[in-house]
Amino acid sequence: MLRFSVAVLAKGVLITLIVTLGASLVATILGLIVGIVRVSPLRPLRWFSIAYIEFFRGTSLLVQLYWWFFVLPVFGVTLSAWTVAILGIGIHISGYLAEVVRGAIQGVNRGQYEASIALNFQWLTMMRRILLPQAMRAMLPTWGNMLIELLKGTSLVFFITIPEFTTASKLAADATGNYLLFFAVALFGYYVIARALITPFVRWLERRLSRGFVQDALE
């Protein structure tokens, strides 16, 4: 029975890590795109990004997953549970990350905008070469926090039939009757994953970008 429980937990942790990685990539890419569009000089693009952000931030992640998995088939669109888990969570979190990107870009020193205009940079060139590299340093801590929230949000994929870490802990507890042990494992398991993987990665990125910033400033 113990061997079964350990195997179930290991599989649950692996599923959680895969969903977290996939959804993080989706959230980061979409968050960057929508956040940049949010400060676009084109008003229709800004309106679209505002609608995107407000919708996905303002509605429940669980209900969004239900729509992706149970409602879309009514309209002839059927997605696998894994696709819904990765895209659904990633798109939901991207709404929050887009606002982080928008705030970081707008927080760049105004003189950088003026210097870019004086150099006759196009908007995309200014964004790519001047504003976004500086904004990345400012957004990293909040980005890391959102990835941890994303990790914890993966527990909801149980409702679309994926047996992730929390569900695996419940199955192991049901099989052995030791709820204290296995829910303690679940409780601290997420903490360990965040502290051992996400936090060190974000801090490594901060150090790398900070060294580049200091070097550029000295030059």
So what's the pLDDT on residue 216?
A: 43
So what's the pLDDT on residue 81?
A: 96
C-alpha pair distances (Å), 185 with each of 9, 20, 80, 162, 188: 9, 18, 29, 19, 5
So what's the pLDDT on residue 211?
A: 67
So what's the pLDDT on residue 212?
A: 52
So what's the pLDDT on residue 219?
A: 38
Please give the average per-residue pLDDT across 15-31, as a whole number: 97
Residue type, 72: L
So what's the pLDDT on residue 213?
A: 53
Please give the average per-residue pLDDT across 54-66, as a whole number: 96
Are 34 and 102 within 8 A, CB to CB? no
Q: How many CB atoms lie within 10 A of CB 180?
A: 9
CATH number of 2-218: 1.10.3720.10
Give the residue extent of every domain in the chain. Answer: 2-218
Task: Name the residue with tokens 């029975």.
Answer: 1
The rounded distance, in Å, linking the Cα atoms of 16 and 20 is 6
Residue type, 215: Q
3-state secondary structure of 80: coil
Helix axes 132-153, 2-38, angle to 10 degrees: 150
So what's the pLDDT on residue 17?
A: 96
| Tokens at 86, concatenated | 């990765």
- Give the pLDDT confidence of 164-218 residue by residue, as tens digits: 999 999 999 998 889 999 999 999 999 999 999 999 999 998 888 776 554 443 3
So what's the pLDDT on residue 214?
A: 46
- Give the pLDDT confidence of 77-120 residue by residue, as tens digits: 999 999 999 999 999 999 999 999 999 888 887 777 777 777 77
Please give the average per-residue pLDDT across 44-49, as a whole number: 94
- Average per-residue pLDDT for the chain: 89
So what's the pLDDT on residue 53?
A: 96
* Among 15-24, 27-36, 81-90, 172-181, the least confident range: 172-181
So what's the pLDDT on residue 207?
A: 84
So what's the pLDDT on residue 146?
A: 94
Q: Is the pTM of this model over 0.85?
A: yes
